[in-house]
Amino acid sequence: MWMGSSVGSGAGKFKQLRHFTAVALLALGLCACAVAPSRSAPKAARTPQPLAHLVVATPDADHDALAQLLAGEMALGQTDLKAASDHFSKAMLLSNDPDVAERAATLAIAVHDHDAARRALDRWQALGAKPAAMAQARAELALDRGDADEARHQLEQLIGSGDKDAWRQFGRVLLTARDQAQAARLLEALATPDRLPGDAQAWLAMSELGDKLGRHAYAMQIADAAAQRFKSAETYAWAAQMKFKDGDRQGARALLQKALARQPKNTHLRQAYAGMLSEEGNYAAAARLLEHGPQNADIYAMRAGLAAHNKDEKALSALYLELQKAAPDVREHSAYLLGQLAEMQHRNAEALAWYNQVGDSDEHAFDADLRSALILHEQGKRADAHRLLEQLQLDYLDQPAQLRQAWQADAELYLREQQYAKAEKAFSRALQVVPDDPGLLYSRGLTYAEAGQVDLAVKDFEHLLKIKPGDVDASNALGFTLADANRDLPEAERLIHAARVAKPDDPAIADSWGWLQYRMGHLDQAAKILRGAWVARKDADVGVHLGEVLWKQGRRKDAQQVFDEVRKLDPHSSSLQDTLRRLRP
């Protein structure tokens, strides 16, 4: 290697000799002082010292190959390619190592110093560069200079060299070319079926390169030819991918079937074919395909997704039992999926145990902890839930998306607990991370409304409507807030009407419209609208509104019946308790 150049090692030896001489003479002098008698002795004849007058020529940095190489490496460490190129160009002239010349050529091409690159290539060739490597480098230089004819000549030399890596090097030259259109033309001209070797990997690589360079027709041609020539699972699968990308789903499916016939246990092929079937809406066939044959974590996840899409609770339950009996490594990689499956079946304790097994390096680590917090809260362990969410906020402080979710979850749990001040604080902190986030503004507005801070709620909803003009949910929320506060009813009517036109069958909007009619004194109309919303969706707040209207109509028995139903739905409904206190002072 170039680190052992003769110039550097020679200088080191001479420096050691000079050092030894100085130390030796100093030592001799000290000894003479130690043994000298008190009376003067006659002067002895001096013994000539052969090294006394030796002068060693130490090269300066510009003529020291090792110094230039070290300086070049330091420049590379600082990503200063131009300085590195200059240092390696100097080192190349002081060293007979072909590796140094190769490095000098590579750097010169990288910084587009064509004259330096030519000199380095000539030097490298003189020092014995391999023909294939030399052709590759000269082709790179020619493409960098925009000389298509020279690039083609060198690339022909490369693929004709017989080197086992020639086609891989060919692809690398074209992939890194400055002018991708020129590279694409050379690919089509040189990497033709009659020139490509008897190696399926080379055909696939050229087809993929053509696709990357925007030559889809060429990529398709080579992919089809490879499938016909080699008839392997891999070539069939790639040709299928090309046809699918081209919109030929039927052709893609036929080729994938051939690929699966070659390798029926190949999990990647089964997933690809199942994915194609599911995109066509044939979920049952996709599920059947995946049920048989080897299983891995990805296959199980896909099966679960298909079953969930079909709302097939029986299949999800069976999959949960099957996955628990899978190989340990599959279970380990499927801990999050197992937690989800357990949750779907309301086995929260089991879900919590599975989520706890999700590793910190797992891509679902955050989601597992988030789900765990929600389960803990549902189990009545509110303090544990909030502590876990607070820890997530610390752990993901530098990841805004996750931080936002942790704050939002924390806020929504506080809102559920009717701890409005804490909920508002959490929503506000999240809005500092993602200002003007529509979802957060909407949720904070609801929090203010629940806490009776109408002005702040209105402010958030109005700001949201400036960000998203005409947003249906924001319009409905602002309209209901105004109606509930019994203020600016014409504006409330305009907002809720617009929302109702956009979503005429939405029970939440019907509830707002009915409550507005009640505030406006239209009791019969309010009762009719609220009754329809209550039948459409048994929501506690809708029931409370309907019950109050019926009570005001004098239909107290009917109102009490609705209130009883609300109590069964939500035994701790604060809205019901507040309403009953007002109606029964």
Give the span between the Cα atoms of 388 and 573, in whole angstroms: 27
Task: Compute how many other C-beta atoms are within 10 angstroms of the C-beta atom of residue 317.
Answer: 14
Q: 276 falls in which pLDDT band (50, 70, 90)?
A: confident
Give the span between the Cα atoms of 207 and 203, in whole angstroms: 6
What's the token pair of residue 585? Answer: 């002072």
Q: Is the dihedral angle over the CA atoms 519, 520, 522, 525 positive or is it negative?
A: negative
Question: Which pLDDT tens digit goes with each residue over 317-326?
Answer: 999 999 999 9
276 against 369, higher pLDDT: 369
Give me the pLDDT at residue 59, please: 57
CATH number of the domain located at residue range(s) 490-583 in this protein = 1.25.40.10
Give the span between the Cα atoms of 134 and 132, in whole angstroms: 5
Helix (H) or strand (E) holding 347: none
Give the span between the Cα atoms of 333 and 328, in whole angstroms: 9
The DSSP code for 362 is S
Mean pLDDT of the chain: 88
**Taking 90 as the threshold, does the pLDDT of residue 461 lie above it?**
yes
Q: 282 falls in which pLDDT band (50, 70, 90)?
A: confident
Question: Which pLDDT tens digit goes with each residue over 528-550?
Answer: 999 999 999 999 999 999 999 99
**Taking 90 as the threshold, does the pLDDT of residue 279 lie above it?**
no
Q: 129 falls in which pLDDT band (50, 70, 90)?
A: very high
Alpha carbon separation from 547 to 206, 345, 401, 534 (Å, rounded): 73, 34, 42, 10
Give me the pLDDT at residue 572, please: 84
**Taking 90 as the threshold, does the pLDDT of residue 16 lie above it?**
no
Give me the pLDDT at residue 47, please: 53
Percent of the chain with pLDDT over 90: 77
Collapse the DSSP code of 316 into the 3-class scheme (helix H, G, I; strand E, B; otherwise coil) and give the result.
helix
**How far from chain centre, in Å, is Cα 198?**
37
Collapse the DSSP code of 154 into the 3-class scheme (helix H, G, I; strand E, B; otherwise coil) and give the result.
helix
The domain spans of the chain are 490-583
Q: 281 falls in which pLDDT band (50, 70, 90)?
A: confident
